Amino acid sequence: MALLIRLLLAWSVLTPPISLAATLKSLETLVADADAGVDALPMPLPPSLDPWYRAPDDMDWEDSDPGTVLKIRHAPRLNQTVGNALTAYHVLYRSTDSEYNPSWDVTTLFIPLWQYRCSASAPALCAHALLSYQIPYDTCNVDASPSFGLHVGEPYGEISDALSLGWFVAVPDYEGPLASYAAGVQAGHATLDGVRAVLRVAGLFGLRTHVTKVALWGYSGGALASEWAAELSVQYAPKLNVAGIALGGLTPNVTSVTDFINGRECAGLIPAGLLGIASQHPAAMNWMLSRLKPTGPYNAATFLSVRHLTAAQSIALFRYQNMYNYFVGGWWDIHVPRVMRLMYDVDGYMGYHGVPRMPVFVYKAIHDELSRVEDTDALVNRFCGVGANILYHRNTAGGHNQELVNGRQRAFTWLASILDGSYDTIYSAMGCTIVNVTYDLTPFVPWD
């Protein structure tokens, strides 16, 4: 394909952002525009300063369908920081927030290196699999979104490994424009709409969309987005065919997690999570802000500083702190008021928005120190009781961080069976299989 030849020649160069007026430009024209002017764009601005990350003001995008592509541009130099990528694009698309208002999100589409062999005369060499990989970025700082953060490197290596298998890979900024960390409905919508948007443009890069199989994968915060996508797909995206979903280190209950990690090394995830989920619920946000202590060692300014921090920085700042000390009413302010309970009911508890209709692989360390394994057990049992098809591995070795590594190859093996069509010949396609396993590939290092 001529387009792919141009992509190969444009391996490490940048192109200027463009906007889409859907009534005036086809997707072909949109991508062609993104291929032009390759010398014009410097290193990208962070999302908070980059106007490209805002919905276009030259079209009635709110009236478009979820998953409609609004903008597309080359993703600067990501093929240099992520291995096995021919090139990458940022795609901004219409989505829906937790209160079901029109919103937008961004996903990063990586095209595998081997796709340069794809042509009309050799369709067998063209990719036919799409993995939506949800990175656990765990912060309410929009400038830590993957579409920007990946410019400094890939944190875990799964994107590169997936690309090496010839899969197209999409990495959504599923927290959305408000960096709504821990807001389940927002994350699920963004993940599903990211897939819909990519399927609308990926055929231009040789993906055989008429036979493409789609899978979702995420660990920890990325599993949160993926699981909510599984639940919400039934009613929000009933025509989107997702073949399977892999979920590692699940956090099914945000209030349980808050209590569990408070006062421990990863307590810094609490302010990020509270501010992230409340960004979708103005009444809850206003309540929380009104209850923060204005002065003293546990003050509002320190608590709110997480809006400008990465997850690692938040953890370092607040480790071992009792986060309830930042509130006038302590624990009560976060768990009891009606506005807070309504927020959690909408966005904080998995298992109440739909039953996954696709095969699911769940893997979790029994000694997970971020989220109790009993919460994941209860979620799996809930779904299994109403006909879900789940393989659940409860690992006797390691903790939350270790299972990221311990479960990686099992997840890849399972995902490969989904994407190559061999799932039914390897795994049980009916009911649930729940087993304790022992995979110990990395030393156990507890949070505290």
**Among residues 226, 289, 224, 230, which one has the least CA distance to residue 257?**
224
Alpha carbon distances (Å) from 371 to 75, 225, 376: 34, 16, 8
Q: Please, are residues 343 and 277 in contact by the beta-carbon 8 Å criterion?
A: yes
Question: What pTM was computed for the model?
Answer: 0.90
* The pLDDT of residue 405: 95
* The pLDDT of residue 166: 96
* pLDDT tens-digit series, residues 290-340: 999 999 999 999 999 999 999 999 999 999 999 999 999 999 999 999 999
* pLDDT cut 90: percent of the chain above it: 83
* pLDDT tens-digit series, residues 161-209: 999 999 999 999 999 999 999 999 999 999 999 999 999 999 999 999 9
Phi, psi dihedrals of residue 275, rounded to the nearest 5°: -70, -35
More confident residue, 42 or 361: 361
* The pLDDT of residue 286: 98
**217 - beta bridge partners?**
133, 246
* The pLDDT of residue 358: 98
Least confident among 21-35, 124-138, 307-321: 21-35
* The pLDDT of residue 42: 63
Which entry of 189, 353, 400, 417 is annotated as an active-site residue?
Answer: 400
pLDDT (mean) for 253-264: 97
Which residue's structure tokens are 């807001």? 183
* The pLDDT of residue 293: 98
pLDDT (mean) for 71-91: 93
Which residue's structure tokens are 């040789």? 206
Which entry of 128, 368, 375, 417 is annotated as an active-site residue?
Answer: 368
Q: Please, are residues 162 and 133 in contact by the beta-carbon 8 Å criterion?
A: yes
* The pLDDT of residue 188: 98
pLDDT grade for 31, boundaries at 50, 70 and 90: low
Indicate the helix (H) or strand (E) that contains 39: none
* pLDDT tens-digit series, residues 406-440: 999 999 999 999 999 999 999 999 999 999 999 99
Length of the chain, in residues: 448
pLDDT (mean) for 229-253: 97
* The pLDDT of residue 112: 96
Residue 381: pLDDT over 50: yes
Which residue's structure tokens are 């490197």? 153
* The pLDDT of residue 446: 52
CATH 1.10.260.130 fits 254-347, yes or no: yes
Active-site residue, 417 included: no
Active-site residue, 64 included: no
pLDDT grade for 443, boundaries at 50, 70 and 90: low
Active-site residue, 161 included: no
Least confident among 73-77, 359-363, 368-372: 73-77
* The pLDDT of residue 71: 95
Question: Could you say which of 3.40.50.1820, 3.40.50.200, 3.40.50.150, 3.40.190.10 is the CATH number of the domain covering 2-242?
Answer: 3.40.50.1820
Residue 37: pLDDT over 80: no
- Note the helical H segments in 237-385: 254-261, 269-278, 282-291, 300-304, 311-318, 331-335, 338-347, 373-384
Which entry of 95, 103, 147, 220 is annotated as an active-site residue?
Answer: 220
**360 - beta bridge partners?**
245, 390
Domain boundaries, the chain: 2-242, 254-347, 360-437
Q: What is the DSSP string of 232-250?
A: HHHHH-TT----EEEEES-
* The pLDDT of residue 76: 76
Residue 224: pLDDT over 60: yes
In 318-430 the beta strands, taken as DSSP E runs, fall at: 360-365, 390-395
Least confident among 9-18, 67-76, 150-159: 9-18
**DSSP state letter for 100:** S
pLDDT grade for 123, boundaries at 50, 70 and 90: confident
Residue 388: pLDDT over 70: yes
Residue 25: pLDDT over 50: no
